[in-house]
Structure 1
Amino acid sequence: MLKGLLRLAPYAAALFTLISAAHAEDGRRVFTGTLGKTPIVVELNTTQPDEVNGRYFYEKYHRDLALSGSLHESTLTLVEGENRYGEDEPLPTLKLEETSNGWQGEWQSPQGKKLPVKLAEAKLPAPTSMTLPFIATLPQSAPYEYLRLQGLKLKPAKKENFMGYDLQWWTEPESKISLFSVESGLPKDDLQRVNQQLLGRLWREVISYHGCLLQGGVNTDFMQQAEPKMISPAVVSLNISTSYYCGGAHPDFGDSPLNLDVRTGHPLSLADVLWVGAGKPLSHADRDSTGDQPLSASESEAYSTYQREVLVPWLIKQFTTLYPNEMKKPAEDDDNACDYSDESIWGYSPWYFTTKGLYLGPYFARVARACDAPDWSILPYSVVKQHPGAVKLQLPQD
């Protein structure tokens, strides 16, 4: 089954028919062509002629180079790269003239070397029935990223058995992003749905890696580790920890779990699993097949109010009963202590399933991030089952 899943759009572009690249709603347009004799992919936003911005990558290397400049009548003048840290170094430039289907002109290095540039409106390989659902959305939502993924492949890494389920790990070599697929232990259709989501998440993280590189420049740091937390006939749950520096004053780190309903393959929100408010749980639009559809404005406001006024006070009360020592408010003169009684740290908790219960983590400000991810903040399933969410799940016993 995995062999079929891995015959994805990034690996079979030559077999696809071609469709025209859609223009993004924000004005970005995508072009393909050559710089010298080397194939490139270019994204440009020329909606503000005096502040044109964009990026491009060589198909051989896949890493973005930033573009900025201006458009005067039909002449586009761009600078490649940025002097981010106060340098005053000369940078390569591009001077392009608009054509009926793109741009042409020349690239010039700071030393004076010149190479011709020819660009045409991008034609995208069309997704097929074997394309991951996430990747199949990219021609419309992110054609530039879709074209980048055409040249990237996953490599098999280690195998392991976790909770009786065989896992195959996969790595994208350039970013070193890794994640697993489930090879056995679930019905065939469930395996397919779950693995589509898992591999889709891997590719999302690859895109995030390249976004970090573009934003941070040469000093970028992006390290990630995925860890399965629980697999059962009902759920697949894992945590993704990322340590990153994408420019700015400080590096940072954080957790971004993924929790899947095995029956549907859809991502689960916390309200799908745990609901302590009045009435029925709020309807969450993130239970679609890709997890991309955001909450509506009214849903978002209602859920934010529920989190702040209902869920957080309830959660603090539960943890104070279960873990009185850990939740004890520290002395005012103890600047190094972690105050887990502070309501503000529980508003948007990263959460995942464990064999012992539902893990909900606090989120501290940067200065106190060492207090993140305590190992004790687990809500037993006996408590969770008393407050079921919008999705009926078969939860384990404590």
Structure 2
Amino acid sequence: MRLPSLLALLGLTALLSAQAQTTGPDGDADAAARRALYAQCGAVEATALPQGVTVGVYRGTLGTQRVTLELTRGGGEQLSEHPDRYSYDRYGLDIALTRGRPTNRTAVYALAAVEAVFTGDGQVARGCLDLSADGTGLRGQWRSPDGRTRLPVTLNRVDAARVPLALPSSPGLLNLRSGDPYTFLKLDRPWQKVTGGLKEPLTGVTYPRVQGGSAALNAALQDLQLKLVTSAFDCRGGYGTNLQNGTDFTGSGTLSWQSASLVSLHEDAQYFCGGAHPDAYTSGVTLSARTGRPVALAAQPGAVWPALNAPKLQALYLAAYPSGGDTADCRDLLASAEGRAGDPLPYELYLTRAGLAVWPNFLPHVALVCAEVVTVPYAKLRALANPAGASFRDLYPR
């Protein structure tokens, strides 16, 4: 079970819900709360950017700290976009900005953005950004709502396409540079070497690289790490909406199999992104050692074990599931109809030296304690394998 791809959207939805116009008995109260939020910064709500200020990514300084800021087409009003946001380069955590304009209506060229967070008392302003266009950049100040702290802000527009790559070129990195330049600028920095791989320095997410492996394979591993790092940023920052609640994300990839034709690994993450409880998942990834492309292990034509479908996997999983102790409730859940569903396959799979590792990805959060990784020996799977497959001799040399 991967970290839900809608994690970012859910965090954004929470922010937009607090800003959105509503109808009915609570509409007046919501509007009053929004007005009070903007009033803390001497501003009123606005969706359009002021004259001279354009959408895009900007880099520069806030006080003495390096920062990156993004202004979007809708300021976050469109669910397909992030809200306006910025981050300190040394941390990389997003801080959401709600767009406004100064109460003084004659200041048509000024953007008054509110740095808002949720607390037990609702949404409050933590900082106020007053920005105006200055050539192709932005100039102004960050100030606390009480005005006691004021820091100069100097930002210059950045064309990410002209920024040299600090990481090896890969499809995912190039897609980030063109499609999400703000995130690209956060991630495109040298990563730390660790045993067997690399660690992204801001999130601590580690992922393997294959010594002597093809450029395509290691590019694919980098792109998988980029996705995991982006999930970590989304979770830990929460788009600035709930920073005080201790959100956290720890993730890594671990190489478990390497042969002439296949590389396999498992991805593990533990996270708390708001809500009632923390969560976790394990995900299996198997790639072609030559091309870096994903290789299917089961339940479809061309897979390593094309005849290994969900019902057979469920039977093999239950046979290898740890016995002893109070496992009856877990076995009932694992033997349920969800474990026999076929599309998508309700198990994460990856190769190990001992056999095929299987992890159930269909269990609800409250039952994750039952989700053990079990290993099915390759000998038990031989009759289900494709003997003409490119990887058959790697798994069954004799």
TM-score, normalization: structure 1?
A: 0.67
- State the AA in 2 paired with 1:142: D
Look up the SS of the partner of 1:249 in the other structure: coil
2:85 is aligned, of 32, 39, 55, to 55
Verify: 1:232 aligned to 2:230, yes or no: no
Look up the SS of the partner of 2:360 in the other structure: coil
Distance 1:34 1:263 in 2: 44
2:98 is aligned, of 68, 77, 88, to 68
Counterpart of 2:271?
A: 244
Distance 1:110 1:128 in 2: 38
Q: How does 1:75-154 map to 2 (within 5 A)?
A: 75-86=110-121, 90-98=125-133, 101-112=136-147, 113-124=149-160, 125-127=163-165, 130-150=168-188, 152-154=189-191
How far residue 350 of structure 1 moved from its aligned partner, in angstroms, is: 1.5
1:360 is aligned, of 358, 361, 364, to 358
- State the AA in 2 paired with 1:137: N
Counterpart of 2:41?
A: none
Counterpart of 1:208?
A: 231
1:33 is aligned, of 34, 56, 60, to 60
For the Cα contact (< 8 Å) 2:358–2:374, is it kept in 1? Answer: no
Distance 1:49 1:174 in 2: 25
Distance 1:43 1:98 in 2: 14
> Cα RMSD (Å) of the superposition?
3.7
Look up the SS of the partner of 1:83 in the other structure: strand
For the Cα contact (< 8 Å) 2:207–2:221, is it kept in 1? Answer: yes
Gapped regions of structure 1 (runs ≥ 5):
1-26, 159-167, 185-189, 283-309
Distance 2:252 2:111 in 1: 42
Distance 1:181 1:116 in 2: 42
Distance 2:257 2:360 in 1: 20
Counterpart of 1:295?
A: none
Kindly tell me: are residues 334 and 265 of structure 1, through their superposed partners in 2, closer, same or farther at Cα, counting changes over 3 Å?
Answer: closer
Distance 2:211 2:77 in 1: 53
Q: Comparing 226-235 with 350-359, which one deviates more in the overlay?
A: 350-359
Q: 1:158-189: per-residue Cα shift (whole Å, max 9, x none)?
A: 3xxxxxxxxx23323332222222224xxxxx
Counterpart of 1:181?
A: 209
Counterpart of 2:24?
A: none
Look up the SS of the partner of 1:242 in the other structure: strand
- State the AA in 1 paired with 2:277: H
Look up the SS of the partner of 1:105 in the other structure: strand
For the Cα contact (< 8 Å) 1:194–1:262, is it kept in 2? Answer: yes
Q: 1:90-144: per-residue Cα shift (whole Å, max 9, x none)?
A: 5111122345635433221134122333334322204499523332222112101
For the Cα contact (< 8 Å) 2:75–2:99, is it kept in 1? Answer: no
How far residue 343 of structure 1 moved from its aligned partner, in angstroms, is: 2.9
Look up the SS of the partner of 1:80 in the other structure: strand
Distance 2:55 2:359 in 1: 38
For the Cα contact (< 8 Å) 2:358–2:375, is it kept in 1? Answer: no
Look up the SS of the partner of 1:82 in the other structure: strand
Kindly tell me: are residues 350 and 335 of structure 1, through their superposed partners in 2, closer, same or farther at Cα, counting changes over 3 Å?
Answer: closer
Distance 1:170 1:327 in 2: 34
Distance 1:239 1:174 in 2: 22
2:289 is aligned, of 252, 255, 262, to 262
Aligned residues: 318
Gapped regions of structure 2 (runs ≥ 5):
1-53, 103-107
Kindly tell me: are residues 387 and 338 of structure 1, through their superposed partners in 2, closer, same or farther at Cα, counting changes over 3 Å?
Answer: farther
Kindly tell me: are residues 311 and 55 of structure 1, through their superposed partners in 2, closer, same or farther at Cα, counting changes over 3 Å?
Answer: farther
Counterpart of 2:373?
A: 374
Q: 1:201-253: per-residue Cα shift (whole Å, max 9, x none)?
A: 33332222221111152401212243222111111111011000011221100
2:193 is aligned, of 136, 143, 156, to 156
Distance 2:230 2:319 in 1: 42
Percent identity between the two aligned chains: 23
